[in-house]
Amino acid sequence: VGRKRKIESLKLSVYEGKNMKFSCSFPRSELGPDDADWLQFTAEDSTNNMELNFRVRIASKPIVSKSDFESIYNDTNLAYEEIELKDDATGLQSDSALLQAFRHKSGSKKAILWILGKNDGFMHSHVFYRLLNESKFDLYVLNYRYSARCLRKGWVEDPHFNSHCHAGTHDVYKNEISKALKTMQTTK
Per-residue pLDDT tens over the stretch 116-145: 866 555 666 777 777 777 778 898 999 888
Q: How far apart are CA 61 and CA 126, in angstroms?
A: 14
How sure is the predictor about 85, in pLDDT bands with cuts at 50, 70 and 90? very high
Distances in whole angstroms, Cα of residue 107 to Cα of each of 45, 71, 103, 104, 126: 41, 20, 7, 5, 22
Q: Which of these, 15, 14, 10, lies nearest to 44 by C-alpha position?
A: 14
Coil, helix or strand at residue 17: coil
How sure is the predictor about 2, in pLDDT bands with cuts at 50, 70 and 90? low
Alpha helices in the chain (DSSP H): 66-71, 125-129, 148-152, 172-186
CA–CA–CA angle 126, 65, 133 (5° rounding): 30
**Beta carbons within 10 angstroms of residue 148's beta carbon:** 22
As a whole number, the mean pLDDT across the chain is 82
Terminal Cα-to-Cα distance of the chain (whole angstroms)? 43
Among the listed ranges 63-72, 102-111, 172-181, which one has the minimum average pLDDT value? 63-72
* Reported pTM: 0.65
CA–CA–CA angle 183, 119, 147 (5° rounding): 45
Q: How far apart are CA 179 and CA 99, in angstroms?
A: 9
Q: How far apart are CA 37 and CA 23, in angstroms?
A: 25
pLDDT tens-digit map of 31-40: 999 888 889 9
Q: How far apart are CA 183 and CA 97, in angstroms?
A: 13
